[in-house]
Amino acid sequence: MNSDKKILICDKIEPEGVDLLKESGFTILENPTITSEELLEVISEVHVIVVRSRTKITESVINSGKILELICRPGTGIDNIDSSTAEKNNIPVFTSVEASTNAVAELTISLAVSLARSIPLADRSLKDNQWIKNSILGSELRGKTFGIIGLGRIGRRTGILASALEMKVIGFEKQIVDKDYLSKYNVTQVELNELLSKSDFISLHLPATPETIHMIGKEQFELMKNTSFLINTARGQLIVESDLFDALSNNKIAGAALDVFETEPPTNTDLIKLKNLIATPHIGAQIIEAQKEASIVIAQKIINFYLENKTTE
């Protein structure tokens, strides 16, 4: 019986998913402000734990979960979850990456437009009673080369949107990418260095792993056009921020837009204050539709896990 299963929701999620779990008979414990100490005290009593990025699921938390059967993250990244320990304990980790795919892709394209047209600068100047129309000369996205590093769900969706804007889309992905997708949206799969040297816009769409952390640094900036723009809506750890600061300060690239940072909230204020950097506070999935969908997707995966024994997403 589902009523025997206790689900601890540690961070705020939209009520649609919570209601779905309650209707399915689960016992729900909600504590959106739970501390790490409090979590260690109660983890032994729950079968499922649901967290956002705030709550850290460490090795000690997992090992203390004597009846823990499932870890859920409404969202994409699992940097805050010790997934290797979860795997050792045969505890699946579910996410709702599909819920935010379009939201993050749309933000990526929005940032590309903002960079190309200097929209933040135009807004700030007018609010400062400055009419600098003749000082702002942007460029069209149409015809430009849009390079996507990581052709997963979000990367592919971003490619579709960029293709719709009549951009030339190229992508780097170590895995084999569906040929139908590549041909339908005129996406060309290339090696990383070729993408870096040819792209007018470079967009990152990879998780933070030992292989990808700091993959964009001084060497990579040297390969980029000095007219190119870098966009990161994936994970802040992908970029060496000190090298990005150097590249922007010395006009090695034209500009960058970051929705994610190595440390959040970011502590590198010198980087954020650069005029050729657009910074947003990790809002990729912060839209009404994505938040509701994330809660529903996670709830349904929990239900399927118990009713249909679906141990994989």
Active site residues: 235, 264, 282
The span from the CA of 201 to the CA of 233, in Å, is 13
Phi, psi of 83 (to 5 degrees): -70, -30
Distances (CA, A) of 44 to 49, 59, 69, 94, 249: 11, 14, 11, 20, 51
Determine which helix (DSSP H) or strand (DSSP E) holds 95, and give its type and residue range: strand 93-95
Q: Find tokens 């190595």 and name the residue.
A: 262
Structure tokens at 54: 């705030």
Q: How far apart are CA 245 and CA 133, in angstroms?
A: 27
In contact, 185 and 169? CB cutoff 8 Å: yes
